[in-house]
Amino acid sequence: MRRAVALAARGLGRTRPNPVVGCVVLAPDGRTVGEGLHRRAGGPHAEVEALTAAGGLARGGTAVVTLEPCDHTGRTGPCSRALLAAGIARVVYAVADPTAAAAGGAATLRAAGVEVAAGLLAAEAENVNHAWLTAVRRGRPAVTWKYGATLDGRVAAADGSSRWITSAESRAEVHRLRHEADAVLVGSGTLRADDPHLAVRGVPDAVQPLRVAVDTEAAVVRPGARVLDDAAPTLVAVAADLPADRTAALAGADVVRLPRAATGRGLDPAALLAELHRREVRSVLLEGGPTLAGAWLAAGAVDRVVGYLAPALLGAGAPLLNDAGVDTVSAALRLEITDVARVGPDLRVTAVPRPAGVPTTEGS
């Protein structure tokens, strides 16, 4: 199963709007005779690719797969039927399929006499498929907030300079995160300060994500902005109540008008996420600055945080986070750290919001 999880990870950034899935087929004597992964939407599912590689050696064997085999016909046929046709005797999967259309593969296999076991390395399989599972369960894209900061929590110096706080190794990892996301999102502050490009560089055969520029007042993005070049598709989000002439400079660009946030500042995160979900975006990398990040955290629209901490101190300058709707320690947005790793000289910390009702363990 751990090998199947690794295979699934190879599909990250390439399968939109489908999940990433890995499969290993074992012969009756336990030998690995086939491996597969879901490489792109509309292409063979992981089970079919692995069964094709195994051929007749799959008969009487075991299929180990990260997600419950599907039981419906879409752009491809049901994997449950493919497993039965190949003569598989046992199926072990990690995570149940939460979709109404595709679920039921396990029941179909059991009804046909196949031994089925579920839950093996479920946490690891959930992690690699975090974005898709979150999108299915919550009905909106999964959002990862990424930031780079000094150890004292600054994302820019007092003079506004910010290049480069983190290392070349960390910046290379960010391009991998972009590649694995369906969309990369920034706000007007970042657009104004950095004129960012937001496309993936340095990742072979990368599928470019949708670049989302949140320009609420239609005051920042103009012809010639790097985010409007042809390196990747771009969506410019503006406030729905703006007069038509405010977006005249964006003629020819993909512009969507959305309601403002209830606070009156910025756009409503839920409305933007709903629009992205409609466009089959299942994962968003939030690269905006401290104001946008604070608004999205306050709205409960962040599912994972990835912070790159550089071994440096500034003492003054822009903080990594502005108002997130917290005015007392007891109301702090508590996170659970899921991974800590060195990236060059920097420290990468990955965390997810702590579920409601989970007690804290901090001391006084």
Annotated binding residue 182: no
364: its two tokens: 């006084």
Annotated binding residue 110: no
Annotated binding residue 292: yes
Annotated binding residue 291: yes
Cα distance between residue 220 and residue 194, in whole Å: 11
Cα distance between residue 69 and residue 60, in whole Å: 17
Which residue(s) pair with 273 in the sheet? none
Annotated binding residue 289: yes
Cα distance between residue 123 and residue 204, in whole Å: 29
Q: What is the CA radius of gyration of the chain?
A: 23
What kind and span of H or E run contains 194? helix 188-194
Cα distance between residue 112 and residue 79, in whole Å: 14
Query: Do the beta carbons of residue 60 and residue 90 sit within 8 Å?
Result: no
Annotated binding residue 148: yes
Annotated binding residue 198: yes
Give me the numbers of helices (H) and strands (E) for the chain, helices first please. 10, 14
Annotated binding residue 252: no
Annotated binding residue 59: no
Annotated binding residue 216: yes
Strand 210-214 and strand 183-187: pairing? parallel
- Of the candidates 47, 49, 173, 180, the residue annotated as catalytic is 47
Determine whether 362 is an active site residue: no
Annotated binding residue 162: yes
DSSP helix/strand/coil, 7: helix
Annotated binding residue 194: yes
Annotated binding site for Zn(2+): 45, 70, 79
Annotated binding site: 45, 70, 79, 148, 162, 164, 178, 190, 194, 198, 201, 216, 287, 289-295
Annotated binding site for substrate: 162, 178, 198, 201, 287
Annotated binding site for NADP(+): 148, 164, 190, 194, 216, 289-295
Residues marked as catalytic: 47
